[in-house]
Amino acid sequence: MFEKVKNKSMNILWVYVAIMIPMWGVFLINNVALNGAFSQFGGVFPRTFSMTGFSGIFTSWAFHANWQHIIGNTQILLTLLFFVSLIEKNPLSMIISLIGVSGFFTWLFGAPHTMHIGASGLVFALMGYLFASIILARRWIYIVALFIMGADYWY
């Protein structure tokens, strides 16, 4: 019993470390220390066939425009990452896959001649994963997560 709690706690900790530290680190270095100098290199440029266009698929989640943007994404990500880490066996690989998938679909369907940044794609991918898990895999425990997030949003 204690071993299982320890493993789940480590999952949650590693996911937070792997997602939150790079996200906040990139934001603080880019927006505070460098005054946004690297913003044009980290975003998704839809349907642009260049190295910056493709690299943004995997890096855009770490770049944010301002304090409200990163704080808003952090609030919902803390909850989503907690529940996914608590329930999934290998949450970090699943989250990295969702980053790639959401970045690719942003690249494929995003507005032309724009740059997309922020972890909102990851947030929506995680929400879609929760809904799909409830409906397709009948993981009813995710309903509890959605109720808690809904109550938090309503409050």
Q: For residues 15 and 113, give the distance between their C-alpha atoms in angstroms, rounded to a whole number.
A: 33
Please state, in angstroms and as integers, the Cα–Cα distance from residue 20 to each residue in 52, 63, 82, 124, 131, following that order.
Answer: 23, 12, 12, 17, 23
Residue 95: what pLDDT? 95
Which is more confidently placed, 149 or 5? 5
Q: What is the pLDDT of residues 99-127, one digit of tens each?
A: 999 999 999 999 988 889 999 999 999 98
Residue 3: what pLDDT? 85
| Mean pLDDT value of segment 128-132 | 86
What are the residues facing 44 on neighbouring strands?
116
Whether residue 74 is predicted with pLDDT greater than 70 in this model: the reply is: yes
Q: For residues 85 and 95, give the distance between their C-alpha atoms in angstroms, rounded to a whole number.
A: 9
Instruction: Categorize the per-residue pLDDT at 53 as very low, low, confident or very high, splitting at 50, 70 and 90.
Output: confident
Which is more confidently placed, 140 or 57? 57
Structure tokens at 36: 């946004």
Whether residue 152 is predicted with pLDDT greater than 90 in this model: the reply is: no
User: Residue 44: which of 95, 92, 101, 94 has the closest Cα?
Assistant: 101
| Range from 15-19, 36-40, 50-54, 131-135 that averages highest in pLDDT | 15-19
Residue 125: what pLDDT? 93
Which amino acid belongs to residue 56?
G
Instruction: Categorize the per-residue pLDDT at 155 as very low, low, confident or very high, splitting at 50, 70 and 90.
Output: low
Residue 126: what pLDDT? 92
Q: For residues 48 and 52, give the distance between their C-alpha atoms in angstroms, rounded to a whole number.
A: 8
| Mean pLDDT value of segment 23-31 | 93
Predicted TM-score (pTM) of the model is 0.85
